[in-house]
Chain A
Amino acid sequence: MIAQKTKKIQKGLVNELTRVSKSLYLIRFTPHTPVDIKPGQFVSVLCDNLTLRRPFSVMDYEDGVISILFKKKGAGTTYISNLKQGDEIDFVGPMGNGFNIERKKSLLISAGVGSAPVFYLHKKMEELGVENFFASGFVSKEEIPSNLEFDMVTTDDGSEGKKGSIVNYVEGLILSFNPEKIYCCGPEIVLKLIVQTAEKHSIKTEVAMEKVMACSIGVCKGCVIKIKKDGKIQNATVCHDGPVFDGGDVVWQ
């Protein structure tokens, strides 16, 4: 008889669903069986009878409640945005590797909905007493999630915080904060620019990547990116090998 392991597929009940910015929503739900979730890991939510689950980075996990921040975009997120307190939610997870927290002075950078996993990382670092600075970029003031707090925000239109893209402030943050490590999540182009800036200063990076997924568990090879490994360029699945990668290993498209 094989010892019973925790099944990574289960159901939970929705605690609440709130709109936290113009296009971002927060859903909090309680899995029937408690799980263990690291910052950077994700859960895949079943959306009615859509063929594919939708993967979401976890924004927080506390007192047995999972929080997810999501942007209402298509059929899947519309379905989730219509869930009500007490509704059942079917999810797979936690999946993926998650960030590696080290005892190093850390700069945390995110953009848009990418602030979700970085917020969770920030929270864990605070608990562990790891010195960190959390900066996030948004399109405008009305897109900043009201439930999150940052050490610094930027908006493209200057309606809140510093004006312009977050990537324009990375160099300055490196010089003023002097981090030993940088963690980031956001659109691929943002990650690429952050990693390139970090490399100029010989700072290690961890990036959380995003891709359309089918299976979420590493079998379908639908969500691969190219990484440098063992001196060769090879495929890595975002869902299973990632979603967090060493920024220096990623071959940017």
Chain B
Amino acid sequence: MAVAQNVDMSFKIRDVIFKNPVLTASGTFGYADEFDDFTDVSSLGAVVTKAISMEPRPGNDHQRIFETYGGMINSIGLENVGIKRFVEEKLPILREKHIDFVVNLAGKTLDEYVSLAKVCAEHNIKAVELNISCPNVKSGCLEFGTDEVVLGKLVESVRNVYRGCLIVKLTPNVTSIEKIAQASQQAGADAVSLINTVKALGVKLEFINGKFKKSTVQGGLSGRAIKPIALGAVSRVRQVVDIPIIGMGGIYSLIDIFEFFSVGADMIQIGTANFTHPDISGQLVDELKNFMTENGFSTLKELKDNLRGEY
């Protein structure tokens, strides 16, 4: 196959052109400046920020991390600096460093989501991702992600105040992710991203002096272990919506990315892999570009069509 002279890896959602399809998942990349020591962050398609709420949140008190076979459970509880500090301190850094970003928003109520979206509109933030699927907070966002009527209302309300690129992040912890995806599309979402973490429980037993001692972490499972769940969800959602899908769940390699493309994802996010390999996202951008160049794919569409057997 011919070598491609110019490779265009870009993908457009609404008015936003992402320069390549490799994004970093919310909560795994901080506010991006932390990764300067490891990779050229500005080369990424976009960084999705840690979830941001109106007020700062302290997160959960108990043990937050539990490693599992092929993955990890986290129970952070949306610890974040709040939108005010984000806008004052983090936003200027992202802009100064020419980092493309998506702001992940987490509200407790419909009004809070609307207020957050308004702040984003005021500050000319080009893309937001609604976190309606965090399994680790007692009240709030997950409820929006599990009921298609409630979700539809939420997305519509945000849509009314925010004209930028609106992405809705879906939870796999539902009976029908298809219904939630359809409701998002109908209510005016520009794209859906999936999957968020899978609700799980980690149990650690220790046998000390004849007695079992149990400690647990209830939270969201991520990492390699959830890739088949994520691929299944993307594949099913692809059957029922026309808007772009951003796939994620256990992506560690170029082959993983191709698997997601092959079942219908348009872009992808790297999550847990960033913890173990802080340089992986930038590396995958390079690997994708090299693969496309060497194998004569000049656009992302050509590559995806080939992967989906549509050439």
Measured CB to CB, the residues of A under 8 A from B are 2, 5-9, 46, 50-53, 92, 212-224, 234-235, 240
User: Min CB distance, B245 to chain A, in Å?
Assistant: 25
Q: What residues of B have a CB within 8 angstroms of the CB of A235 in the complex? A: 58-59, 79
| Closest chain A CB from B42 CB (angstroms) | 9
Q: Which of A8, A46, A51, A224 contacts B224 (CB 8 A)?
A: A51
Residues of A contacting B278 in the complex (Cβ-Cβ under 8 angstroms): 8-9, 92, 215, 217
A214 in contact with B79 given A51-B67, A221-B64 (CB within 8 Å): no
| Chain A residue with the shortest CB-CB distance to B222 | A51
Q: Which residues of B contact A221 (CB under 8 A)?
A: 59, 64, 76, 79
| Cα-based distance from A68 to B28 in the complex (angstroms) | 27
Contact call B74/A222, Cβ cutoff below 8 A? yes
Known: A53-B276, A219-B28. A5 touches B37 (CB 8 A): yes
28 chain-A/chain-B pairs, Cβ below 8 angstroms: A2-B40, A5-B36, A7-B37, A7-B38, A8-B38, A9-B278, A9-B279, A51-B72, A51-B223, A53-B275, A53-B276, A92-B278, A212-B65, A215-B274, A215-B275, A216-B275, A217-B30, A217-B34, A217-B38, A219-B29, A220-B27, A221-B59, A221-B76, A221-B79, A222-B74, A223-B64, A235-B59, A240-B34
Does B65 lie within 8 Å of A213, measured CB to CB?
yes
The residue from A51, A92, A220, A240 contacting B76, defined by CB atoms under 8 A apart: A220
A213 to B34, CA, bound (A): 16
How far, in whole Å, are A52 and B74 apart by their CA atoms in the complex?
12
> When chains A and B are docked, how far (Å) is the Cα of A67 from the Cα of B68?
28
Contacts of B30 in A (CB 8 A): 217-219
Q: Contact check, B65 vs A214: say whether CB atoms are below 8 A apart.
A: yes
Q: How far is the CA of A222 from the CA of B50 in the complex (A)?
A: 13
Chain A residues whose C-beta falls within 8 Å of the C-beta of B67 in the assembled complex: 50-52, 212
Q: For residue B89, give the distance in angstroms from its CB to the closest CB of chain A.
A: 15
| A residues in contact with B66, CB < 8 Å | 212
**Inter-chain contact A214/B279, CB cutoff 8 Å:** no
Q: How many residues of B contact A (CB 8 A)?
A: 34
A234–B58 CB distance below 8 A: yes
Add 15 more A-B contacts to A217-B38, A219-B274 (CB < 8 A): A7-B279, A52-B275, A92-B278, A212-B63, A212-B65, A212-B67, A218-B30, A219-B28, A219-B30, A220-B74, A221-B59, A221-B64, A222-B64, A234-B58, A235-B58
A230 to chain B, nearest CB (A): 13
B34 and A218 within 8 A (CB) = yes
Binary interface profile of B, 12-49, with partner A (CB < 8 Å = 1, else 0)? Answer: 00000000000000011110001111101000000000
Q: Is B296 an interface residue (CB 8 A)?
A: no
Q: Which residues of A contact B28 (CB under 8 A)?
A: 215, 219-220
Residues in chain B near residue A222, CB distance under 8 A: 64-65, 74, 76
Looking at the assembled complex, report how far the CB atom of B158 sits from the nearest CB atom of chain A, in whole angstroms: 26
Instruction: Answer yes or no: B70 CB below 8 A from chain A CBs.
Output: yes
Residue in chain A with minimal CB distance to B224 = A51
In the complex, what residue of chain A is closest to B58 when comparing beta carbons?
A: A235
Contact, CB under 8 Å: A9 / B38: yes
What is the distance, in angstroms, from A12's C-beta to the closest C-beta of chain B?
16
- Measured between beta carbons, the chain B residues less than 8 angstroms from A214 are 65, 72, 74, 275
Residue interface mask B210-223, A partner, CB < 8 A = 1: 00000000000001
> Chain A nearest CB: distance from B184 CB in Å?
27
Is there a chain A Cβ closer than 8 Å to B133's Cβ?
A: no
Interface residues as binary, B261-295 with A (CB distance below 8 Å gives 1, 0 otherwise):
00000000000101111110000000000000000
B188 on interface, CB distance cutoff 8 Å: no
Cβ-neighbour of A224 out of B59, B71, B272, B279 (below 8 A): B59
Complex alpha-carbon distance, A92 and B275, angstroms: 11
The interface residues of chain B lying within 8 Å CB-to-CB of A212 are 63, 65-67
CB distance from A180 to the nearest CB of B (A): 34
B71-A223 in contact (CB<8A)? no
Name which of B35, B272, B275, B278 has the most chain A CB atoms within 10 A of its CB.
B275
A222–B74 CA distance with the chains assembled, in angstroms? 7
- How many angstroms between the C-alpha atoms of A31 and B35 in the bound complex? 20
Task: Report which of A5, A46, A217, A224 forms a contact with B64, defined as CB distance below 8 A.
Answer: A224
With a cutoff of 8 Å between Cβ atoms, the chain B residues found around residue A2 in the complex are 40
Residue of B nearest to A92 (CB): B278
Residue ID in chain B nearest A44 by CB atoms:
B276
A222 nearest CB across to chain B (Å): 4
Residues of B56-96 contacting chain A, CB below 8 A:
58-59, 63-68, 70-72, 74, 76, 79
Known contacts: A234-B58, A235-B79. The answer to whether A217 contacts B65 by CB under 8 A is no
A52 close to B276 (CB less than 8 A): yes
A7 to B36, CA, bound (A): 9
A51 and B68 contact, CB distance less than 8 A: yes
Closest B residue by C-beta to A253: B61
Give min CB distance, A187 to chain B, whole Å: 15
CB distance from A115 to the nearest CB of B (A): 24
Could you say which of B37, B40, B64, B272 contacts A51, with CB atoms under 8 Å apart?
A: B272
Most buried by A among B27, B72, B79, B276: B276
